[in-house]
Amino acid sequence: MEYPENTVLLVDDEKPVLNALKRLIRPLKCTVLVTESPNEALRILDEQQIDLVISDMRMPEMSGERFLEQVAKQSPDTERIVMTAYSDPQATIDAINHGKVSRFMMKPWEDEDVLKVVRKSFELTALRRQNEALQALTRQKNAELAALNDSLEQKVEARTEQLKDANVRIKNSYRSVVRMFSNLTARRLGVKATADNHRLNQILLGVAKYCKVEGTPLKQLYYAWQLRNIGKLSFDDSLLTKPYVELSAEQQRQFHAHPLLAEAATMLVKPLFPAGNIIRQHKEYLDGSGYPKGLQGDQISQPARILCVVNDYIELTLGTYQGRQYSTNEALAYLREYASERYEDRVVDALEAVVSALAKEGDVVKDDCKASQDLAPEMVLSRDLVSGQGVLLLSAGQTLDTVAIQRIREMEANLDEQFAVYIKN
């Protein structure tokens, strides 16, 4: 086997010994350097890489153990071998302790022994170099991996921000879709999109907060609130222009399908599935008298119970349930009368507390419905006074005086009507 990549340095003060060793090692095709001077050998070690040093023990310029000690300090990766014709135990110990030699060989030597030692040294050097190369490669790969990780973290952070932005856009698009269908439904039902929408939203959110609904459940409840009437879009006018109690039995049967139709519509948008479940149950009553499935008690979800109370309250005040609009106090009294049968007491309590609190802050109106004979000066209209033919007689917010009260009574007589006058309280 040949070793063209390896170099051996022979150091001996006897030139014939150097020549003999050089001839012996030359067939290995390695680089062979020779010198009779230990100092020269140290200079050579400074200038180039030497894999193996074979040194005589006794040399006039410097002892072998001292020379090899310098080699160990100067070139620790160079393997060191001592060759001597003398058996000197102390010199051997010194060479091991200071020169860190790996092998002693006696003169005269056996050629095959020398070749075996040189081959083994070169093979160990090759292994060491491979190990160093692998370690260097490992460090390089680790550095590349660290850089890749840094880059990957940056990319992940950037991608995460992109996903967050996309998620926000998607959420906003859901909200926009919900608002669009809510407004479309309101127009189909003849309800104007006014500041009242904000007032009604405040009531729902206030009741939900009172009942400790928050986070995702609150968001789904709000979506259900906005879309609760979407199932009515396909109804003809005969089902929408009359109050519920004035519909025939067959018309009511058709009307009872609107929660299911609304749920089916929300099935087209996966994030609205929970809202659809709430809408499906929002006309169910605790006593089982609701629709469309006649659910009872715990079969009805908590969000649906909340939506049921707030929705029925709004329908009573708008006049879409019975033939006339209820005042806020009348509507609350109606809910309270059925609280132990249809509605959950805690939700009705929450609604009453929220309406009272918002009324004190001026965000909602709390009112009573009075007959004209019960009116008194300084009372303030909470709603527009409209005749049975749809003529606006007085605007909401007007403070009544004796003249206005007298005119209201005269108009009742002239039109042969009895007005429902809503007064702030």
What tokens does 425 get?
């309280």
Q: Which of 183, 201, 199 is closest to 191 using CA atoms?
A: 183
The reported pLDDT for the residue numbered 424 is: 85
- From CA 368, how far away is CA 382, in angstroms rounded? 9
Buried b (16+ CB within 10 A) or exposed e, 32-53: bbbbbbbeebbebbeeeebbbb
**DSSP-H helix ranges across 61-214:** 64-74, 89-94, 111-188, 196-210
Q: Which of 189, 204, 195 is closest to 258 using CA atoms?
A: 189
The helix or strand, by DSSP H or E, that contains position 357, with its residue range, turns out to be helix 345-361
Phi/psi at 422 (nearest 5 deg)?
-100, 125
DSSP state of 397: T
Hey, what amino acid is at 293?
A: K
Q: Is residue 157 classed as helix, strand or coil in its secondary structure?
A: helix
Beta bridge partners, 365, equal: none
81 or 169: which leads in pLDDT: 81
Across 405-425, average pLDDT:
84
| 319 torsion bin: left (phi>0), alpha (psi -120 to 50), beta (else) | left
- From CA 421, how far away is CA 425, in angstroms rounded? 13
Measured distance between the N- and C-terminal CA atoms of the chain, rounded to whole angstroms: 111
Residue linked to tokens 């030139």? 15
- Residues 293-319 pLDDT 10s: 999 999 999 999 999 999 999 999 888
CB 386 within 8 A of CB 415: no
Hey, what amino acid is at 83?
A: M
Lowest model confidence (mean pLDDT) among 12-16, 167-171, 216-220, 265-269: 167-171
The reported pLDDT for the residue numbered 7 is: 93
DSSP state of 107: S
Hey, what amino acid is at 178?
A: V
- From CA 236, how far away is CA 148, in angstroms rounded? 64
What is the per-residue DSSP string for 60-77? SSS-HHHHHHHHHHH-TT
CB 74 within 8 A of CB 101: no
pTM beyond 0.85: no
| Range ranked top by mean pLDDT from 140-154, 305-319, 383-397 | 305-319
CB 110 within 8 A of CB 83: no
Q: Which of 280, 255, 281, 254 is closest to 267 using CA atoms?
A: 280
- Given pLDDT bands bounded at 50, 70 and 90, which one contains residue 97? low
Angle at 105 between CA 99 and CA 107, to 5 degrees: 125
Phi/psi at 8 (nearest 5 deg)?
-120, 140
The reported pLDDT for the residue numbered 20 is: 93
pLDDT, mean over the chain: 85
What tokens does 206 get?
């206030």
- From CA 328, how far away is CA 368, in angstroms rounded? 7
Across 64-86, average pLDDT:
86
HSE on the CB side for 383, CA within 13 Å? 21
Hey, what amino acid is at 49?
A: Q
- From CA 383, how far away is CA 202, in angstroms rounded? 19
- From CA 34, how far away is CA 26, in angstroms rounded? 12
Give residues with Cβ within 8 angstroms of 331, minimum separation 6.
Answer: 313, 316, 317
Beta strands 52-56 and 79-84 are parallel
- Residues 16-69 pLDDT 10s: 999 999 999 999 999 999 999 999 999 999 999 999 999 998 888 888 888 988
Q: Is residue 100 classed as helix, strand or coil in its secondary structure?
A: coil
For residues 200, 202, 203, 205, the Cα torsion angle rounded to the nearest 10 degrees is 120
The reported pLDDT for the residue numbered 92 is: 61
- Given pLDDT bands bounded at 50, 70 and 90, which one contains residue 171? low
What tokens does 49 get?
């890489």
The reported pLDDT for the residue numbered 381 is: 87
The helix or strand, by DSSP H or E, that contains position 82, with its residue range, turns out to be strand 79-84
